[in-house]
């Protein structure tokens, strides 16, 4: 099985999808000739031609708006927003259009599009290259929201997203593109070539949307995480010496509630982790669901560890980022409660 | 000479407000037949002046004159008249139905019937419109069943959209009519995307995008022009300038530009202005732009100069912001009367036959209305089920919606 970085896995997913279905088209800013600022689409224009992989004007609204129109025609656009931080001009097209077209037209028109975007911090990207806006999309009926944490999942989830009949927001944790960053920013990062989840099956492979996976089995406490924070949570449990069960949600909408409740009912404790700002973040939804479905199994209040409610700072990145130390504190607090 | 600002913010104002005497003397109306008809493969750079003129075919005597005349036969024109009369009668009945409480909301087309009715006849089966809420003529002139339109307006048990959409936000894929959003301008860029998809597929089908004068201020409009221009998308981009965006006169969205059509010039698009109350002119220009798109020559921006005679919607009262007599003073007249006079002039129509046709059309609309009302109206009779509310959010219902549907007990 070939070892791939997350970038290579994402590119491979698009390559496989374009090879199988000529309705799949790929476009965005710097996506065509150059192959994307993160190189996720490198080689696709040469292989499939400029009708199926091309550069666009700098207009996120335009990119998503034409994707919606193309989907109405019958294509399956997989578009790139250069950074999740730049998606806001397209928000109306996503929320009022892509997400609702199936519903409002009673199925006459559908919107099978994928909107890929690098998300999250940890790269000294400042406020415009570090945000985690997933909760702005999980709040929208009609969307699906996916956040992979490794190359293997990235490929399988992206192929599933492209083949899905509904619009999918595909958030790619950019800090994971080249290796499983565990939050210890002062240590070298292991490349994916030295990690089992860098094993990516060749050709067509899928990971189903809406299914979480257990990354570490444990009995003391459940950590719910996704994207970069899966690796940070694993490191935090290790550092704290606590037998935590780490659930990688993979898809936030629809959510694998069964996996969450099974784990929390087993451990009786739960810590919810995300990079995005705390207030009204996706963690609020997770905590609520755990409370609704697992209340009588809980031994302690559910804890949240998240980004502070400030804009994403530059110099203070590691004061902002919810790293292993902060997760460790929460784990200890939950264990001692 | 441009006046210097006198202090405070410059905010454009219409010529006249309620109580004043309507005055359209500053609206320059070229003589019918006076604007050239270039070949469809013209270099857009050579026809930039067309963005500041108005293509007209019908003159004051009801004659069709000039290079844009002659695209329609007697039969087609008679059919066009019937479509416009039908739309007007349909509007009157639905407006009344709203007042009677049979639905929540309605938007009529009074004065603008020629635009969508004539445009529809320039398109081919398989082409796709991305309309706003004031192009029901695309459905009427495309022989979409009127009962279905009424079922949608009533949100009744036979509503093809299952009660999910505000009245008149139709969707009719098989009739080349994309689902109306209600969020303004969003469809304009989608039309360009549909057209790009057609080009990607080496297809000959084309798209038409629609937008109002006020909504040209939305970013979607400008994105649409960029993408249409860059990729030479096979799309016709239609701006219906009916002078009013609810209470806001067109000068607020237009700003210092001479015309809305002129917005296309910076994008290198051919930009035409047409008399929107002249069925023949609308059809001729639509045909030109459609042909251009289908031949792979790219997008055309068309501004239809017309006037919204009625209120914006049933929730609006125009007497609060414009003179009541303003529509009578509108210099381009009424599209139905103008086509009627032309047909009489052609010797294929008479006043008597027109009166008779009015009665027949009304009869047809009333028959459809009775049929629709058998399936219920918004507050009475058959209605979509509450269970339907949970269907169709996704292709497959996810677990959380299943749980909520159970919770709702439907």
Domain borders along chain B are 44-313+323-379
Preferred mutation among A22, A25, A49, A66 to probe B, highest tally of B CBs within 10 A: A66
Tell me what pLDDT residue A287 has: 98
Tell me what pLDDT residue A171 has: 98
Mean local confidence (pLDDT), B3-11: 82
Closest alpha carbon within chain B to A54: B231
Query: Any catalytic annotation for residue A129?
Result: yes
Superfamily of domain A6-198: Thiamin diphosphate (ThDP)-binding fold, Pyr/PP domains (3.40.50.970)
Q: Is B166 on the interface with A (CB under 8 A)?
A: no
Tell me what pLDDT residue B6 has: 73
Residue B109 has pLDDT above 80, yes or no: yes
Question: Cα–Cα distance between A313 and B35 in angstroms, integer?
Answer: 60
Question: Cα–Cα distance between A321 and A281 in angstroms, integer?
Answer: 15
pLDDT in tens, A60-78: 999 999 999 999 999 999 9
> Residues of A with CB below 8 A from B223's CB?
57, 59, 61-62, 65
Question: What is the residue extent of each domain of chain A?
Answer: 6-198, 213-336
> Residues of A with CB below 8 A from B395's CB?
102, 110, 165-166
**How is residue B217 annotated by DSSP?**
G
Q: CA angle, corner B177, sides to B108 and B385, nearest 5? A: 80
A154 neighbors A164 (Cβ within 8 angstroms): no
3-state secondary structure of B209: strand
Q: Is B349 on the interface with A (CB under 8 A)?
A: no
CATH topology of domain B44-313+323-379: Rossmann fold (3.40.50)
Name the residue among B178, B197, B395 with its Cβ closest to that of A165: B395
Question: Cα–Cα distance between A162 and A326 in angstroms, integer?
Answer: 36
Tell me what pLDDT residue B26 has: 86
Q: Name the pairing type of β-strands B235-241 and B207-212.
A: parallel
Question: Cα–Cα distance between B193 and B199 in angstroms, integer?
Answer: 10
Catalytic residue among A129, A139, A204, A314: A129
Q: Report ipTM for this prediction.
A: 0.97
Alpha-carbon B315 to chain mean position? 19
> Residues of A with CB below 8 A from B164's CB?
103-104, 106
pLDDT in tens, A101-124: 999 999 999 999 999 999 999 999
Preferred mutation among B128, B152, B175, B189 to probe A, highest tally of A CBs within 10 A: B189
> Residue B125: how many CB atoms within 10 A of its CB?
9
Of the CA atoms within 13 Å of residue B42, those in its CB half-sphere come to 20
Write out chain A in H/E/C secondary structure.
CCECCHHHHHHHHHHHHHHHCCCEEEEECCCCCCCCCCCCCCCHHHHHCCCCEEECCCCHHHHHHHHHHHHHHCCEEEEECCCHHHCHHHHHHHHHHHCCHHHHCCCCCCCCCEEEEEECCCCCCHHHCCCCCHHHHHCCCCCEEECCCCHHHHHHHHHHHHHCCCCEEEEEEHHHCCCCCCCCCCCCCCCHHHCHHHECCCCCCCCCCCCCEEEECCCCEEEEECCHHHHHHHHHHHHHCCCEEEEECCEEECCCHHHHHHHHHHHCCEEEEEEEECCCCHHHHHHHHHHHHHHHHCCCCCEEEEECCCCCCCCCHHHHCCCHHHHHHHHHHHHHC
* Distances, alpha carbon A42 to alpha carbons A19, A23, A33, B116, B200, in Å: 15, 19, 8, 45, 20
Tokens of B71: 């695209």
* Distances, alpha carbon B294 to alpha carbons A47, B191, B235, B290, in Å: 28, 14, 8, 6
CB contact under 8 A, A75 and B399: no
pLDDT in tens, A154-196: 999 999 999 999 999 999 999 999 999 999 999 999 999 999 9
B209 neighbors B130 (Cβ within 8 angstroms): yes
Name the residue among B227, B392, B394 with its Cβ closest to that of A66: B227
Tell me what pLDDT residue B2 has: 67
Residue B1 has pLDDT above 80, yes or no: no
Closest alpha carbon within chain A to B130: A69
CB contact under 8 A, B171 and A92: no
Residue B3 has pLDDT above 80, yes or no: no
Tell me what pLDDT residue B205 has: 98
> Residues of A with CB below 8 A from B128's CB?
72-73
CB contact under 8 A, A62 and B173: no
Q: Is A165 on the interface with B (CB under 8 A)?
A: yes
Tokens of B370: 């009775």
pLDDT in tens, B268-291: 999 999 999 999 999 999 999 999
Question: Cα–Cα distance between A18 and B318 in angstroms, integer?
Answer: 53
Q: Which helix (H) or strand (E) holds B302?
A: strand B300-305
Residues making up chain B, counted from first to last: 410
CB contact under 8 A, B393 and A101: no
Tokens of B271: 């930009």
Q: Is the four-CA dihedral B317, B319, B322, B326 of positive or negative sign?
A: positive
Question: Cα–Cα distance between A8 and B151 in angstroms, integer?
Answer: 52
Closest alpha carbon within chain A to B198: A73
Mean pLDDT across chain B = 97
A70 neighbors B193 (Cβ within 8 angstroms): yes
CB contact under 8 A, A70 and B191: no
Across the strands, what pairs with B128? B207
CA-based nearest residue to A306, from A320, A317, A318: A320
Question: Cα–Cα distance between B207 and B189 in angstroms, integer?
Answer: 11
A90 neighbors B375 (Cβ within 8 angstroms): no
Closest alpha carbon within chain B to A209: B398
Q: Is B228 on the interface with A (CB under 8 A)?
A: no
Q: Is B230 on the interface with A (CB under 8 A)?
A: yes
pLDDT in tens, B383-400: 999 999 999 999 999 999
B185 neighbors B211 (Cβ within 8 angstroms): yes
Closest alpha carbon within chain B to A289: B400
Angstroms from B256 CA to nearest CA on chain A: 24
**How is residue B129 annotated by DSSP?**
E
Angstroms from A134 CA to nearest CA on chain B: 18
Tokens of A26: 């790929």
Closest alpha carbon within chain A to B205: A73
Give B 169-198 residues with CB within 8 A of chain A.
169, 171-173, 178-179, 181, 183, 186, 189-198
Q: Which helix (H) or strand (E) holds B288?
A: helix B279-294
* Distances, alpha carbon B251 to alpha carbons A41, B264, B310, in Å: 45, 17, 19
Residue B4 has pLDDT above 80, yes or no: no
CA-based nearest residue to B135, from B70, B180, B98: B180
> Could you tell me which CATH number the domain at A213-336 has?
3.40.50.920
Q: Which residues contact B395 (CB under 8 A, 6 or more apart)?
A: A102, A110, A165, A166
Residue A263 has pLDDT above 80, yes or no: yes
Write out A228-242 in H/E/C secondary structure.
HHHHHHHHHHHHHCC
Residues making up chain A, counted from first to last: 337
Angstroms from B205 CA to nearest CA on chain A: 10
């Amino acid at each position: 099985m070939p070892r791939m970085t997350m970038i290579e896995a994402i590119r491979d997913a698009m390559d496989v999808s374009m090879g199988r279905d000529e309705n799949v088209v790929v476009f965005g800013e710097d996506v065509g000739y150059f192959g994307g600022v993160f190189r996720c689409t490198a080689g696709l224009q040469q292989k499939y031609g400029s009708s199926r992989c091309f550069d666009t004007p700098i207009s996120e609204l335009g990119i998503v708006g034409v994707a919606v129109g193309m989907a109405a025609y019958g294509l399956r656009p997989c578009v790139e927003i250069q950074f999740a931080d730049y998606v806001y001009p397209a928000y109306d097209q996503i929320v009022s259009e892509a997400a609702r077209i199936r519903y409002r037209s009673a199925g006459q028109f559908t919107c099978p599009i994928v909107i890929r975007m690098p998300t999250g911090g940890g790269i000294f990207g400042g406020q415009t290259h570090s945000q985690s806006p997933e909760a702005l999309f999980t709040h929208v009926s009609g969307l699906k929201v996916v956040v992979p944490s490794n190359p293997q999942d990235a490929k399988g989830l992206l192929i599933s997203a492209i083949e899905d009949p509904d619009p999918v927001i595909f958030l790619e944790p950019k800090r994971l593109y080249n290796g499983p960053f565990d939050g210890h920013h002062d240590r070298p990062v292991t490349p994916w070539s030295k990690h089992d989840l860098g094993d990516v099956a060749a050709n067509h492979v899928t990971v189903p949307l809406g299914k979480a996976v257990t990354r570490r089995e444990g009995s003391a406490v459940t950590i719910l995480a996704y994207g970069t924070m899966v690796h940070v949570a694993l490191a935090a449990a290790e550092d704290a010496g606590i037998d935590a069960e780490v659930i990688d949600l993979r898809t936030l909408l629809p959510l694998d509630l069964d996996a969450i409740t099974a784990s929390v009912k087993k451990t009786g404790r739960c810590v919810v982790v995300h990079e995005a700002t705390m207030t009204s973040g996706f963690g609020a939804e997770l905590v609520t669901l755990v409370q609704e479905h697992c209340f009588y199994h809980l031994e302690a209040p559910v804890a949240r560890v998240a980004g502070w409610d400030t804009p994403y700072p530059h110099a203070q990145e590691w004061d902002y980022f919810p790293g292993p130390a902060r997760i460790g504190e929460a784990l200890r607090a939950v264990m001692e409660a | 000479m441009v006046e210097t600002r006198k202090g405070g913010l410059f905010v454009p104002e219409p010529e006249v407000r309620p109580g004043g005497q309507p005055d359209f003397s500053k609206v320059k109306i070229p003589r019918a037949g006076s604007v050239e008809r270039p070949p469809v493969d013209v270099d857009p750079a050579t026809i930039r002046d067309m963005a500041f003129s108005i293509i007209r075919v019908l003159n004051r005597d009801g004659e069709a004159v000039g290079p844009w005349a002659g695209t329609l036969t007697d039969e087609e024109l008679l059919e066009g008249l019937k479509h416009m009369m039908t739309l007007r009668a349909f509007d009157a009945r639905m407006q009344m139905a709203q007042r009677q409480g049979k639905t929540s909301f309605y938007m009529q087309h009074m004065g603008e019937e020629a635009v969508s009715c004539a445009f529809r006849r320039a398109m081919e089966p398989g082409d796709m419109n991305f309309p706003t809420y004031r192009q029901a003529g695309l459905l009427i002139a495309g022989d979409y069943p009127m009962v279905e339109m009424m079922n949608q307006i009533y949100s009744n048990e036979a509503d093809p959209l299952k009660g999910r959409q505000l009245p008149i936000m139709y969707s009719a894929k098989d009739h080349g009519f994309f689902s109306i959003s209600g969020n303004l301008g969003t469809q304009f860029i989608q039309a360009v995307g549909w057209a790009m998809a057609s080009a990607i597929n080496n297809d000959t089908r084309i798209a038409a995008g629609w937008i109002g004068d006020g909504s040209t201020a939305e970013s979607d409009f400008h994105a649409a022009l960029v993408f249409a221009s860059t990729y030479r998308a096979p799309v016709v981009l239609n701006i219906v300038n009916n002078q009013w965006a609810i209470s806001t006169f067109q000068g607020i969205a237009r700003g210092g530009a001479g015309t809305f059509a002129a917005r296309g010039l910076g994008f290198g698009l051919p930009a035409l202005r047409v008399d929107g109350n002249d069925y023949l002119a609308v059809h001729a220009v639509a045909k030109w732009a459609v042909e251009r798109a289908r031949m792979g020559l790219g997008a055309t921006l068309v501004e239809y100069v017309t006037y919204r005679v009625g209120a914006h919607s049933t929730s609006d009262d125009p007497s609060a912001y414009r003179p009541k007599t303003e529509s009578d003073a509108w210099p381009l007249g009424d599209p139905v009367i103008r086509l009627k006079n032309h047909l009489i002039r052609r010797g294929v129509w008479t006043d008597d036959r027109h009166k008779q046709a009015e009665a027949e059309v009304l009869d047809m609309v009333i028959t459809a209305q009775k049929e629709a009302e058998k399936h219920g109206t918004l507050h009475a009779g058959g209605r979509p089920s509450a269970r339907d509310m949970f269907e169709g959010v996704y292709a497959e219902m996810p677990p959380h919606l299943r749980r909520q549907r159970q919770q709702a007990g439907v």
